[in-house]
């Protein structure tokens, strides 16, 4: 669908994108994750033909974006970081203009505009000036604009930035729905968004791809250990003694002591299953009730921090 090979973009001496290689399969939602200034927007701008690359190629549906730009661009719907809206137009006029620009068949145009406005929920503001619309509606008009012509690929740069929580949920829902008919790439620096919507994640830092996998795999592969936080009623020393006897427990630390309750964090072998049950019976036998027990899930947040920190260290050494 889209193939990016050895993509490099330099601004003078500053390398914004550094030898990026990515391939997209059709029908999936891809997430571009990275801190601000990691090169996400630059990459997207190159993929859509807005910027030229210093080196490397981008092919969309077999068309090179630099060699056959019109053909490649007609396969892509793009929502830039700031929706490219004409303030003195109404959404209906604007979408009709975009349809003309994308050479949509005159006879299908009207129906398509109405259908897309329905889909993105902007029908009720269709005749108001874009200037007077709220940020949320403007963003939706921006998404509607990308949808015009029903291109097979949608590239959305931070589609939920600046929206309120309700609108964020709506836009995510919309993206998920669109994912069934389009290949979608969306960028974000918000991790929960990526894990909520995307099938596949690229983590990019300082213009380089540092990780690429499904959100689940990224979390799993992070670490061989799992962590539990438990609260136990009993003496700290006695609890410690018992835990030392459990084979799967690698280490533990006391987090907090409160009257007769102790809260601990346990590091355990991931391969060992049923540890919680084992601990339950162990402490129950010694009449030290476990009051609470939670397993820590690796959030994408940690993965992200780990990956982006790694490259920083690597650079320091170099």
Partner 1 sequence: MSAVYKKELKSWFVSPMGYVIVAFFFAIVGLYFTIYNLQNQYPWFGVGLENTAFVLMIIVPLITMRMMADERRQKTDQLLYTAPVKITDIVLGKYFAVVTVFAIPMLVFLFYPLILLGFGKPAASLAMDYVAIAGYFLLGAASLAVGFYVSAVTENQVLAAVLSFGLLLLSYFSTSLAAIIPSDPVSSLIGVAIVICLLAVLIYIMTKNLLLAAGVGLGLEAVLAVIFLLRRSLLQGLINRIIAVLGMPDRLNNLVYGELDLTVVVYYLSVIFLFLFLSVQAIYKRRWS
Contact residues for partner 1, defined by CB under 8 A: 11, 45, 48-52, 69-71, 73-74, 76, 78, 80, 82, 84-89, 97-98, 100-103, 145
Nearer to partner 1, 56 or 69 (CB): 69
Least spacing, CB of residue 193 vs partner 1, in Å:
22
Least spacing, CB of residue 280 vs partner 1, in Å:
58
Least spacing, CB of residue 216 vs partner 1, in Å:
33
Least spacing, CB of residue 43 vs partner 1, in Å:
14
Nearer to partner 1, 46 or 226 (CB): 46
Nearer to partner 1, 122 or 226 (CB): 122
Q: Which two tokens stand for residue 59?
A: 């092919």
Nearer to partner 1, 1 or 89 (CB): 89
Least spacing, CB of residue 246 vs partner 1, in Å:
59
Among candidates 148, 144, 143, which has minimal Cα distance to 160? 143
What is the edge-to-edge ordering of all strands in the sheet holding 225-233? 249-258, 261-269, 225-233, 290-296
Say how far apart CA 44 and CA 130 lie, in whole Å.
25
Say how far apart CA 21 and CA 167 lie, in whole Å.
33
Task: Kindly give, in sequence order, each residue whose CB lies less than 8 Å from that of residue 178, ignoring residues fewer than 6 positions away.
Answer: 147, 154, 184
Nearer to partner 1, 93 or 302 (CB): 93
Say how far apart CA 138 and CA 216 lie, in whole Å.
33
Nearer to partner 1, 99 or 268 (CB): 99
H or E element in which residue 55 lies: strand 55-60
Task: Provide the greatest CA pair distance for the chain.
Answer: 80
Nearer to partner 1, 54 or 223 (CB): 54
The gap from C-alpha 64 to its chain's centroid, in whole angstroms, comes to 26
Least spacing, CB of residue 144 vs partner 1, in Å:
12
Least spacing, CB of residue 213 vs partner 1, in Å:
29
Supply φ then ψ for residue 279, to 5 degrees.
-65, -40
Inter-residue contact 73 to 66 (CB < 8 Å): no
Inter-residue contact 83 to 141 (CB < 8 Å): yes
Inter-residue contact 120 to 147 (CB < 8 Å): yes
């Amino acid at each position: 669908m889209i193939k990016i090979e050895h993509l490099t973009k330099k601004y003078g001496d500053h390398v914004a994108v550094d030898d990026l290689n990515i391939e997209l399969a059709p029908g999936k939602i891809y997430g571009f994750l990275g801190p601000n200034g990691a090169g996400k927007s630059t990459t997207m701008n190159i993929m859509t033909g807005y910027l030229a690359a210093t080196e490397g190629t981008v092919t969309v549906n077999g068309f090179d974006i630099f060699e056959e730009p019109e053909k490649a661009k007609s396969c892509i719907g793009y929502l830039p970081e700031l929706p490219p809206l004409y303030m003195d137009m109404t959404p209906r006029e604007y979408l009709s203009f975009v349809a003309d620009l994308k050479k949509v068949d005159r006879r299908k145009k009207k129906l398509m505009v109405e259908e897309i406005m329905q889909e993105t929920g902007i029908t009720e503001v269709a005749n108001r000036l874009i200037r007077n619309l709220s940020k949320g509606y403007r963003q939706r008009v921006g998404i509607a604009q990308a949808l015009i012509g029903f291109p097979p690929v949608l590239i959305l740069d931070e589609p939920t930035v600046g929206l309120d929580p309700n609108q964020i949920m709506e836009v995510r829902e919309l993206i998920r729905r669109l994912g069934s008919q389009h290949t979608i790439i969306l960028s974000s620096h918000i991790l929960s968004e990526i894990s909520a919507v995307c099938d596949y994640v690229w983590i990019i830092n300082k213009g380089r791809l540092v990780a690429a996998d499904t959100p689940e795999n990224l979390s799993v592969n992070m670490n061989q250990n799992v962590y539990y936080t438990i609260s136990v009623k009993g003496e700290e020393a006695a609890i410690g003694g018992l835990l030392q006897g459990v084979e799967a427990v690698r280490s533990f630390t006391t987090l907090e002591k409160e009257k007769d309750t102790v809260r601990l964090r346990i590091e355990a072998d991931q391969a060992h299953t049923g540890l919680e049950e084992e601990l339950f019976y162990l402490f129950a036998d010694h009449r030290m009730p476990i009051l609470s027990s939670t397993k820590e899930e690796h959030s994408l947040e940690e993965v992200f921090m780990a990956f982006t920190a790694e490259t920083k260290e690597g650079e320091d050494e170099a």
